[in-house]
Structure 1
Amino acid sequence: MAPAVPLALLALLARGLGLGLALPSCDYPTHLWCSSREITVACQAESHCANISRPTAAPVQLSLYYESLCPACRSFLVQQLFTTWLLLPSGVLNITLVPYGNAQEEKVSGKWQFQCQHGSEECLGNMLQACLMHEAQDFTTYFPVIFCMESGTSATKNLKACLQVYAPDLDAGRITACVQGDLGANLMHLNAQLTDALDPPHEYVPWVVINGKHTDELQEQAQSSLLRLVCQLYQGDKPEACKDTAGSKPRAVCRR
């Protein structure tokens, strides 16, 4: 195998021999050719820059509209969504969570009030998770906590325990203050607006939107085997988890 020739030496040889290898469209010094993908491409030096990765495929975008106490929502989030997220490497699936579902809102004395399909306890669970997301910001921090809340016997009484296990740096007191103050109501109002803006309007929860679209077929595939659906839709190199995506589960929903 021929020894590798440094880029700088290649450039000098090209200039000296008039081979045109100095890449006339490249105005960057040779020591910068591998500093960014843009420069690498401009200087046609991809084969010499092992540290510059090729563009990756766009992640599959999934938005879940759900309720904290809806049995079908809890099942989908715990058994399908969280498992799929764990199995796939970063950059394959982006998830947005919108806890509100079949709730209703009204403004009373200048403050938003909510009625939820499964009662006041569900409204509390929705708001706890909305405040958790606002406080944590990072999806990888708050999603395991929400998984823990939804997989336990109570989606509202185990916040502190779930935080201790999955996000000990988060302050449960700040989340509680959010729920009890105006911030929690405003966050829920935002979720109400996002839910009401769905096109087509949601008829049940969990309501799954994939890459900005909701169809009966996508919903059925997502609830049957979300991992298989994401693997089919992802346009990049298929990750290891996509090699065995057999099996499906019956569909369940909470209708309005």
Structure 2
Amino acid sequence: MEPAGVLKNSVWAVHLFALLIHVCVGFKADAEPVKVTVYLETLCPDSMIFVKHQLAPAWENLREIMHVDFNAYGFVLETPLSEGYEFSCQHGADECKGNMIIECARKYADNLDAFVDFDVCFMSSSYPPNEGEICADNVGVAWSPIDICSKSVEGQQLLHESGVRQNSLVPVPNYMPWIIINDVFSQEYLDEAQSDLIGLVCRVYEGTLPPICQSSSHF
């Protein structure tokens, strides 16, 4: 029989080895990701606060179990032109510019993660409409096609399409940001997402929870 000290050290070594494997391999999702769909305006203070203080940390810590989609439109008056559209956005012309940048990034970012990374950076800045190029550089997205798109009829068309998506929702949004979880809107989800999105995603996710979800501060 091994001495107690040797046995204890052996058990500790096994636990340490298992921990190292977990750290090296990383967390793997084993269920469908929680779909977080956000409708927002780029100069809406509540939209900016939500992204900076809720969505950004949730995306940083839980991207393995989240599917995030951004839609920028909000409360807009639009007028069809012979080509494209003219927009009047709630917070002014710069908001229309910012909204079009997001919708063009949807089309020209390399993949969904890059699109979300760009939008999180963009909406976490002090004045999003002026931060497109900086955020594109920060997350490794080509800025030129987004910039060209946002200043063209193409950008106008993409912003119009975002409005079509928003206005097809039931209920139609009467507040920004409008947050939908797993394609289901509820006032409970909207309220909780703005106060503890990490806790909400952890609660809704049906698979094995990542370590941050086990923190008492989120339950």
Residues 55, 120 of structure 2: 8 Å contact kept: no
Distance 1:151 1:56 in 2: 30
Partner of 1:205, secondary structure, is coil
Map of 1:159 onto structure 2:
132
- Aligned-residue offset at 1:108: 2.2
1:113 to 80, 86, 109: 86
Corresponding letter in the other structure for 1:230: V
Are 1:146 and 2:119 matched, yes or no? yes
Map of 2:61 onto structure 1:
87
Map of 1:66 onto structure 2:
40
Runs of at least 4 residues off by over 6 Å: none
Report which stretch shifted further, 228-237 or 56-65: 56-65
Corresponding letter in the other structure for 2:113: T
Distance 1:93 1:144 in 2: 13
Higher relative CO (Cα under 8 Å, sequence separation at least 6) belongs to 2
The normalised TM-score by structure 1 is 0.70
Largest Rg, 1 or 2: 1
Residues 184-209 of structure 1: CA deviation (Å, up to 9, x unaligned): 11111110000000101111100011
- Aligned-residue offset at 1:245: 5.4
Distance 2:110 2:168 in 1: 23
Calculate the aligned-residue CA RMSD, in Å: 2.0
Residues 68-103 of structure 1: CA deviation (Å, up to 9, x unaligned): 00010011011111210111152x111111011112
Map of 2:168 onto structure 1:
197
**Which one has the bigger helix percentage?**
2
Residues 41, 47 of structure 2: 8 Å contact kept: yes
Residues 165-188 of structure 1: CA deviation (Å, up to 9, x unaligned): 221xx3322112111222111111
C-alpha spacing 1:58/1:64, structure 2 compared with 1 (3 Å): same
Map of 1:76 onto structure 2:
50
- Aligned-residue offset at 1:137: 4.1
Partner of 2:36, secondary structure, is strand
Structure 2, unpaired ranges of 5+: 1-28
Partner of 1:153, secondary structure, is coil
The normalised TM-score by structure 2 is 0.82
Percentage of identical aligned residues: 29
Residues 15-68 of structure 1: CA deviation (Å, up to 9, x unaligned): xxxxxxxxxxxxxxxxxxxxxxxxxxxxxxxxxxxxxxxx93211111100000
